[in-house]
Structures are given as C-alpha cells and as structure tokens.
Structure 1
C-alpha cells in the first residue's frame, strides 16, 4: 500500500486544485504527502561580501517559506497534518523529482498537467515524458482544474496480456482503499485478432491471481483508439485512467507513441496513472 506521496508543484494559483487533489488522496490512503518544489537557481557570481554557498542557503530558505505559505493558503494550517514541504536547488526539474522520489522511497509521484496559463509551464510534455521511463513508482498526472478527489471508477486500458495482470494487481489495493470499481477495457481493430477469445483467457488468468469483486471487462472495436478511449471513459463515468508503459508493441504503444502528456491533453480530461513495466 502507498505510504508516502511526492507531489511536485510550480506554486501557481492554477495548480492549487492539483495540490488539494494530492492532499485529499493522501488522506484517503492514509499516506504522508511531501510537497516538492525544485528551484532552478542561476549561477551565483562570486561576491566579496557573501560566499555563493551562503547566498544559495538564504535563497532556498526563502523559497521554503514561500512554499509553506502556499500550502497553508490552500490546505489550511499545516500543523497536525501529514504534510511536509521540501525545496531543493535543481538544474532540471525532472532530475530533481526523480532524485527526491528515490531518496525518500515514495510510493507515488503526482504532477500537474501542462498549464497553458502559467508562464513557467513547469510540467510540459518533455518533463512528463522524461519521468515516465525513469520513475521508481507509479506517476499520477492530474489536470490543474480538478476541483475534488473522487475516485469511484478506475478505467484500465488493457492489451489483455500477462503484464496487465501484474499492473492490475498493483491497482487493487488502491481500488479497495477508495472502494472503487475497476473497469478493464481493450480497444482493438477487428483485423488484429480474436479479441473475444483473448478477453476470456485474460478473465480466467486474472481471476486466478487477483481477488477483487468490483471488476468488469469491455472489448471495443475501433480504428480510432484515442477518441474511443475518451468516449468510453465518459460513458462509464471514469474518474481515473490507468495505463501500463511497455516496450512491446500494442494498443498503448500506438496510443502513446508520442508524448504521453501531450496525448492526454488532447484526448483525456481525467487524471492519468502511469505504471512502468519495469516497476511491476
């Protein structure tokens, strides 16, 4: 079960909703929330009166105070809450997030989706893409406009392969904690293979390895994968989309063959949880 969550923020007003989402999720899971801000500080020129190390120390201290004030503003007083504010000087945001996540051994990393209104544009596609292949744990990408954390229906986009069973096994504790249903869907072209037979095989394999009653399956035939996935998510009222990043070819390899963050911006309006096959 997830015991700690790292939420990386750019401290803009537009990302405040994602902060609240991360906090509410941490409460529901009984996990500690670490709010992380990576400060990109320019090279410090040598000063006669103050050493560069001293200047850097004061800058980080000031940024820490700003982050704490930001969290207090949107979450209320932090005293008594399982929330820790962390600021570090970084050269690259993605590297800072990865370093801190590995150092703390967190069970989940949360970032906000690209925000068109922020000048900094912290979590643009390149950062999200850079994290996907290297994160030591699942990566949750939350739209900045999410007003509340309510997960009752988890949509898992499947290839009906053994790797999906391992990923779903990881999702079950989350679903149980949230009392959520897991809706497993596979979108395929009719030319690919006997999808119904594959789904029945997958059902049997999953039943042997995963004990959870709130699971349903759906096989959808379509040549327009992104659009069909979005439509299906809306029809079933999905609150969270889960995908498994993998090297092999398959539905998700085609679906997210470009920037994953860019794709979900264009097609999916709900939070996305990404697992990497290497971490299963």
Structure 2
C-alpha cells in the first residue's frame, strides 16, 4: 500500500477524511495523491461562443488549483505526492479511471449522512466509486478520528467469490500489523443446520477470530459487534451478481457505510 488516492469536494467531512488519509499514509510510509473533479453545467456555457469554452475550463482549473493548495497545506512535507484537477462529466468514472491509470493501491473518501440532497449526491458518488474502483475504497465517516488500526472485521456470508478480496484484506492487515476478524450476522433464529456448517468448513481461510452474531438486523448486529470487539475498520465485499442481487448488496453496503461511525473498507470482484 504505497499509493493512496484521495478525491475531495472541499467539504468539512472531506477535510476530516484527508487528515485521516495522511495519518494512515504516515503509518505505512505511503504517498497521497489528491484530486478534485469538476465540470461546467450546460446552463453556464449554453450562450457562450464555442471558442470561449476551453478558456472557461482553464480559468476554473486555476481557481481549483489554488483551492487544492490551500486544502493540502497542513499535510506533512513530502506526504502529498501530487495534486490534480480533473475535468469530467461523471465524477465516479473520473476517480476510478485516474486510480486505474496511476496504479493506486487504495482510494480514501469522506462520507456524510444522507440528510439533504447534496449529501445524497455525495453518497451516490461514494457508492458508485466503490463499485467501479480497481482497488479497495476506504470510506471515512465525518466524525472519524485516526487511531492505530489493530482490528479489522470482515463481514462475510461465506461466499467463495470473495476469496481474492479476503486475500488482499489479509495482506493489507499484515502491512498494518492488524488482526483480521471474521463475522457473520445470522438474521434467522434457526442456527445449527448442516448447510451452515458445510459452508463454514468450505470457506478457504483460517480464522484468527470468527463470530456468528444473532440479530434480526444485519446493520445493528454489525454495529454491536464493532463496539464489543473494539473494531477499527469494517470490511465489506460487493459481488458482481445479477442486477437485483447487486442492488441489494449495494444498498446494504451504502447503508453500512453511512450507518457506522468507523471507516468501512469495500472490495468488489
């Protein structure tokens, strides 16, 4: 984990997440690239002559470069490798394309509860970035304060499709000198069926710690587990399944991302 990408919208939650990203980067001796993505609304350029459009983009880039310098000025010297202003219509695609071309190991983004339209929009950007990213995405809540990462909980449904993500998680945990804990929330009271036992036995990983939590709500079950075990990060896997299943998992991942007060690390296939 040597290259971290941090997209910002200059909001207060983003500023807090940037502090978190810098603290994490220092822990693993990584560098942080900071980008912001912008576009010009059609209503702003509809009546302008075509030859003025590039000039308007350049002017906006100059303004945003100044904001980027101000946004990153508190970071330790040498920690931020580069700042970049990216023009594009679709923010998640620009972020993930940038990460892919620059070979980033991790994307860190700030999150905020979806209480108004702008926050819902940011939630959508975070969610779509999670689904499209070529690398894991760490979503940092607005109130999160960096602390040494010693325990990472992986929420599992025993899917064999997540084996690659689990291996990457274990590698990341080793780099952080953190323990990987596995947790499954059972929403049905009927435990102990043979099928459940077979699924656990076939899951190809040894557990430093494995727990089955009984709770009618997956969200509440995970939140209680996080508190009881003093978890620093929660990790989730978003599979590429049929549309209705993917929507369900995306909805769950999004709810968990905005529900918990701990950073959420998301992998997908």
TM range (shorter): 0.7 to 0.9
When the two structures are aligned, how many residues end up with a matched partner?
261
Please give the residue correspondences for 1:69-218 in structure 2 after superposition, counting only pairs within 5 Å: 69-72=70-73, 74-76=74-76, 78=77, 80-114=78-112, 120-121=118-119, 124-188=122-186, 189-191=188-190, 193-194=193-194, 195-202=196-203, 205-207=204-206, 215-218=208-211
Over residues 209-264 of structure 1, what are the superposed CA-to-partner deviations in whole Å (9 max), with x where a residue is unaligned? xxxxx821112233322211110111001110101111459xx9797452632343
Q: Is the 8 A contact 1:113 1:143 kept in 2?
A: yes
Distance in 2 (alpha carbons) for counterparts of 1:254 and 1:47? 42
Shift of 1:64: 0.7
- Kindly indicate whether the alpha-carbon contact (under 8 Å) linking 1:111 and 1:123 is maintained by their aligned counterparts in 2: no
> Which deviates further from its counterpart, 191-200 or 268-277?
191-200
Aligned residue in 1 for 2:6: 7
C-alpha separation in 2, matches of 1:241 and 1:93: 25
Q: Distance in 1 between matches of 2:84 and 2:118?
A: 19
Superposition pairs of residues 26-105 of structure 1, within 5 angstroms: 26-43=25-42, 44=45, 45-46=47-48, 51-72=52-73, 74-76=74-76, 78=77, 80-105=78-103
CA distance in 2, matches of 1:187, 1:119: 31
Asked if structure 2 preserves the Cα contact closer than 8 Å seen for 1:158 and 1:186, the reply is yes
1:197 shift after superposition: 4.7
Gaps of 5+ in 1: 208-213
**How far off is 1:34 after superposition?**
0.8
Query: What residue number does 1:210 align with?
Result: none
* 3-state SS of paired residue (1:206): coil
CA distance in 2, matches of 1:149, 1:175: 14
Instruction: Give TM-score, length-normalised by structure 1.
Output: 0.81
Runs (4 or more) in structure 1 with deviation over 4 Å come to 115-120, 252-255
The CA distance in 2 between the partners of 1:32 and 1:122, in whole Å, is 30
In the TM superposition, what is the alpha-carbon distance from 1:40 to its structure 2 partner? 2.9
Which residue of the partner structure matches residue 262 of structure 2?
Answer: 270
User: Once structures 1 and 2 are overlaid, which stretch shifts more, 175-184 or 216-225?
Assistant: 216-225
The separation in 1 between residues aligned to 2:165 and 2:215, in whole angstroms, is 24
Distance in 2 separating the partners of 1:259 and 1:200 = 26
Calculate the TM-score normalised by the size of structure 2.
Answer: 0.84
Q: Cα RMSD (Å) of the superposition? A: 2.9
Match of 1:232 in 2: 225
**Contact 1:34–1:83 (CA<8 Å) still a contact in 2?**
yes
Segment of structure 1 superposing worse, 11-20 or 190-199: 190-199
Q: Which runs of 5+ in 2 are unaligned?
A: none
